Amino acid sequence: MTQASFWDSPRRIGAMIMRYRFLMMASWPRLLELAYWPTVQMILWGLINRFMVTQSDWMAQSAGLLIAAALLWDVLYRAQLGVSLVFFEEMYARNLGNLFVSPLRPFELALSLLTISLLRTLFGVGVAAGLAIGLYHYSIFDMGLPLLALFMNLLVMGWAIGLMIVAMVLRFGLGMEGFAWAVIFAFAPLSGVYYPISILPEWLQPVAQLLPSSHVFEGMRLIMNEHVFSIEKVIAAAELNVVFMIIALGLYSLAFYSARQRGLLLQMGE
Amino acid sequence: MPAIEVLHLQKNYGDIIAVDQLSFEVPRGKTYALLGGNGAGKTTTLSMLLGLLLPTSGTIRILGIDMIRDRFKALPRMNFTSPYVDIPHRLTVEENLRVYGGLYGVRHVKRRISDLAEEYQLSPFLKRRYGSLSQGQKTRVSLAKSLLNEPEVLLMDEPTAALDPYTADQVRTALKAYQARTEATILLASHNMREVERLCDNILMMKQGRIVDQGSPVELIGRYGEQNLEDVFIQIAKGSELPR
């Protein structure tokens, strides 16, 4: 009745996206969660921003700096969670066995996770960005096209970290679940989300330069403080993202191979 | 060409040998059973046939396709059901079947779901969440999922576990009818001797990862001088350890 071909991939990815849409429509807490945290972050950092503007000349030069930082940080966080949490849903449902005896290929699963992550991020951060306009009269969209370059770089870095977490959960089981929530925060101090990289200890600055996110946030501050769009920062972040993605895809492939060696795919679950 | 061809299949986990030089063939259109006690290697064998588990050595060909190198060519023409592998609980039965219809590339999926719902008496709970169903209802949904793509090769692990005798009988009748219509090949692992006697043309008796005997239910019962397959199973299970 059916015959596999490479061109069936979009249909199978579409089926996985449909599966996730059904899940979301059946669960209002999941929908609420998408917008809840970005909204809380937005309100908190919006208030801090409002206070800081009255206290600091540097902050006063670029109103909305902290709001923009909070929104962009959430892009990274949502993109990573969007990949790892959606994969966890399949593990909670003990559905991996059925998925992997179907013609769904591992790269198609990865692409469906990335697509769902993009949709989740757009929704969650979109709500928060709308709130920033309503509550603080700050629109991140005023950054114009450079915002797209910053957004894409953070999205891809989040995807890469999400795929690395999926690989670890495939290899070590759901015991690694807590890691998925916490790991991104290890990148926060080095990314210079709310402060310039130059305030880090000198020995730590080269480490920060290895993160795509540090270049993105430096680029964001250049746009907001000096109205300069640094293509160099964007390219540096994109180059590092290529490396991050290659490592993530390598780990993901290795984890699948290992799970097939050890017979974990049929029994994986809570 | 047989539908399933297994040659010198071996699976080791460190020093433990789960499947030991297993070789067998299942001709097209036939139903075979893997029968054996717990730990005999039935599920490990099924997992390798499905491509979920990589063998240590040996070859598997399904519909002439090398499953170790090219499993994605064969998987759209196969399917699998087991009461021990779940389907998403929060989705309704219909939603689950639509998702799997998409994954298998089923044409006219709504009509196919409607046909299966009628055949397996799923219509009353198509709109209910899978997680809210009884175990017997879940097993029927799982069976419907496994027939969505009209597989040429169907692998089943305890296909009627958790079904009451009447429903189990209906399912067996439907499976027989499906096979008669499509000439599908079925390989099932089961502990239910009555099911095996009724459904299977041939039985592969497994112990310690090996096939220790095989034949039709009638042949095996006659060979061991027993009254039924259950006594044959017990006699083989009681037998001395196989030399390694």
Inspect the interface and report whether the beta carbons of B105 and A12 lie closer than 8 Å. yes
A100 lies within 8 A of chain B by CB: yes
Predicted confidence at residue A39, as pLDDT, reads 86
- Give per-residue pLDDT as tens, A41-79: 888 888 888 888 777 776 666 668 888 999 999 999 999
CA B160, CA A180: separation in Å to the nearest integer? 38
Phi, psi for residue A236 in degrees, rounded to 5: -60, -45
Residue B100 has pLDDT above 90, yes or no: yes
Predicted confidence at residue B242, as pLDDT, reads 44
Which residue has better confidence, B12 or B192? B12
List strands edge to edge, sheet with B57-62.
Answer: B16-26, B4-13, B57-62, B65-66
- Give the mutation candidate from B71, B78, B104 for the A interface (greatest A CB count, under 10 A): B104
Residue A15 distance to chain B (closest CA, Å)? 5
Residue A95 has pLDDT above 90, yes or no: no
Q: Structurally, how many domains does chain B consist of?
A: 1
A21 lies within 8 A of chain B by CB: no
Q: What is the CATH number of the domain that holds B49?
A: 3.40.50.300
B195: in domain:
yes
Residues in chain B: 244
B61: in domain:
yes
Closest residue to B73, CB basis, from A4, A11, A102: A4
B41: in domain:
yes
CA B109, CA B186: separation in Å to the nearest integer? 23
CA distances for B36 relative to B39, B192, B209, B235, angstroms: 8, 11, 9, 11
User: Which residues from chain B sit within 8 angstroms of residue A94, using beta carbons?
Assistant: 85-86
B244: in domain:
no
CA distances for A262 relative to A204, A255, B71, B112, angstroms: 39, 10, 18, 36
Residue B104 has pLDDT above 90, yes or no: yes
Inspect the interface and report whether the beta carbons of B75 and A4 lie closer than 8 Å. yes
User: Which residues from chain B sit within 8 angstroms of residue A100, using beta carbons?
Assistant: 51-52
**H/E segment holding residue B9:** strand B4-13
Residue A252 distance to chain B (closest CA, Å)? 16
Of the spans A177-181, B114-118, B228-232, which averages the highest pLDDT? B114-118
- Its pTM stands at 0.89
- Give per-residue pLDDT as tens, B156-196: 988 887 778 887 888 888 888 899 999 999 999 988 888 88
B243: in domain:
no
B68 lies within 8 A of chain A by CB: no
Inspect the interface and report whether the beta carbons of A26 and B129 lie closer than 8 Å. yes
Closest residue to A102, CB basis, from B44, B103, B107: B103
B65 lies within 8 A of chain A by CB: no
B73 lies within 8 A of chain A by CB: yes
Q: A225 by DSSP, 3-state: which?
A: helix
**H/E segment holding residue A57:** helix A57-61
Domain span at residue B109? Answer: 4-238
B26: in domain:
yes
Inspect the interface and report whether the beta carbons of B76 and A4 lie closer than 8 Å. yes
B162: in domain:
yes
Mean pLDDT of chain B: 90
Which of A13-27, A40-54, A66-80, B65-79 is least confident? A40-54
- Is residue B149 within 8 Å of residue B97, measured between CB atoms? no
B161 lies within 8 A of chain A by CB: no
Q: Which residue of B has its CA nearest to A13?
A: B103
- Give per-residue pLDDT as tens, A122-163: 999 999 899 889 988 888 888 888 999 999 999 999 999 999
- Is residue B235 within 8 Å of residue B37, measured between CB atoms? no
Predicted confidence at residue B149, as pLDDT, reads 95
Q: Which residue of A has its CA nearest to B87?
A: A95
Predicted confidence at residue A267, as pLDDT, reads 65
Residue B241 has pLDDT above 60, yes or no: no
Q: Which residue of B has its CA nearest to A267?
A: B85
Packed helices A177-191 and A65-92: angle between N→C axes, nearest 10 degrees: 160
Inspect the interface and report whether the beta carbons of B87 and A261 lie closer than 8 Å. no
What would the two tokens of residue B111 be?
């009509």
**CB pairs A-B closer than 8 Å:** 117
Predicted complex ipTM? 0.88
- Give per-residue pLDDT as tens, A229-251: 999 999 999 999 999 999 999 99
pLDDT category at A191 given cuts 50, 70, 90 is very high
Q: How many CA atoms lie within 13 A of B76 on its CB side?
A: 21
* Mean pLDDT to the nearest integer, B43-48: 93
Query: Exposed, middle or buried by CB within 10 Å (0-12, 13-18, 19+), for B230?
Result: middle
Q: Where are the beta strands (DSSP E) in A79-126?
A: none
Q: How many CA atoms lie within 13 A of B49 on its CB side?
A: 33
For chain B, the C-alpha Rg in angstroms (whole number) is 18
A2 lies within 8 A of chain B by CB: yes
